[in-house]
Amino acid sequence: MRQRFGGPWTLIKLEVLEKYLNFYTTALKNQPFKLCYIDAFAGSGKIDIRGEIAIPGSAIRALDYPFHEYYFFEKEQSYITALKKEISKKHQHKSVVIMQGDCNELLKTLSAVQWKKEGWRGVIFIDPFAMELRWESLKVIAQTEAFDVWYLFPLMAMNRLLRRDRRIPDSYEEKLNILLGTDDWRKELYRESRQLSFLDNKNLEKCSIDSIREYIIRRLKTVFPGVSDNAKILTNVEKRAPLFLICFCVSNPSDTAIRLSLKAADHILTHFNPYS
């Protein structure tokens, strides 16, 4: 069973990931580390994109790079069955562990391993469906001090909940709090309107997408010691509506690790045109 979703932005995020995996495994090939790749939403291994033939997904692409171990998280059994079939075609010799369940629960298990102390380094790719990733899961990753993270933040899904009139239902507020790990978005993502209101001198309006982007980067910096300032907004081609924010974070607190990883990620993020 293949997954049917996406568009040109899907190709962009996969290209960004592969460029970084190439850099990462090349940079560390002569270092005494064991390398681990984790795909938090591994899927079926193949993606059907409108106007494109079926293409390999992130999990299958990662297998082309020399990590010592791969962990693929997936909730749907049908996708797991399809993923195993794809892996068996040419990667059966790889050390792959497929874990079924909710990604947030599976990411909690990272805390059971002393990754950095035991000589592990790695990359985690997080491409959630809508707003499935909890902020607490990012904290767990950061505490490993061993993983670099590519996170496709669900910008469109979040933006839909931020009503312009600021009359947000309690259920929406709860979802936003879980996604962002705080409730300060109430004051950070709304500002005083420049238009006069006869009803309220402090009439508020929702901030721009660029301001929301900057806020998300600031939030990530409260958890990770290294975060790229060059996170890119991915849009759909037809309407140029913002869909995702592709973010990069470093959990290793070493100044050297942060500097090298951010240099590579920033280069990748600033040297592609998402609208070409």
Q: Is 107 helix (H, G, I), strand (E, B) or coil?
A: helix
Q: 93 versus 51: which is more confidently predicted?
A: 93
Closest Cα to residue 91, out of 69, 106, 121?
69
- What do you get for the CA distance between the two ends of the chain, in Å? 31
Q: Is the pLDDT of residue 276 over 70?
A: no
* pLDDT value of residue 10: 86
* pLDDT value of residue 64: 97
* pLDDT value of residue 80: 97
* pLDDT value of residue 25: 98
Q: How far is CA 13 from the centre of its chain?
A: 10
Q: 6 versus 215: which is more confidently predicted?
A: 215
Q: 104 versus 6: which is more confidently predicted?
A: 104
Q: How far apart are CA 143 and CA 141, in angstroms?
A: 5
Distances (CA, A) of 68 to 33, 119, 122, 179, 244: 9, 12, 10, 31, 30
User: Quick one: average pLDDT of 248-266?
Assistant: 98
User: Quick one: average pLDDT of 242-263?
Assistant: 97
Q: Is the pLDDT of residue 272 over 80?
A: no
Q: What is the pTM of this model?
A: 0.92
User: Quick one: average pLDDT of 14-32?
Assistant: 97
Q: Is the pLDDT of residue 5 over 70?
A: no
Q: How far apart are CA 44 and CA 58, in angstroms?
A: 10
Name all domains of the chain by residue range, CATH numbers in brackets: 3-160+226-270 (3.40.50.150)
Kindly report, residue by residue over 105-161, the tens digit of the pLDDT.
999 999 999 999 999 999 999 999 889 999 999 999 999 999 999 999 999 999 999
* pLDDT value of residue 192: 73
Q: How far apart are CA 262 and CA 230, in angstroms?
A: 10
Here the tokens at position 235 are: 């849009």
Give the sign of the dihedral formed by CA 39, CA 266, CA 111, CA 116: positive
Q: Give the DSSP letter of residue 208.
A: P
Pairing of strands 69-74, 34-39: parallel
User: Quick one: average pLDDT of 216-243?
Assistant: 92
Q: How far apart are CA 110 and CA 115, in angstroms?
A: 8
Looking at every residue in the chain, the average pLDDT score rounds to 91
Q: Is the pLDDT of residue 198 over 50?
A: no
Q: How far apart are CA 129 and CA 153, in angstroms?
A: 10
For residue 29, which amino acid is it?
A: K
Q: Is the pLDDT of residue 244 over 50?
A: yes
Backbone angles phi, psi at 62, to 5 degrees: -60, -30
Kindly report, residue by residue over 32-55, the tens digit of the pLDDT.
999 999 999 999 999 887 666 789
Whether 30 contacts 256, CB under 8 Å: no
Residue 19 pLDDT class (50, 70, 90 cuts): very high
| Residues 6+ away with beta carbon under 8 Å from 197 | 203
* pLDDT value of residue 274: 57
CB atoms closer than 10 angstroms to residue 187? 9
Whether 42 contacts 74, CB under 8 Å: yes
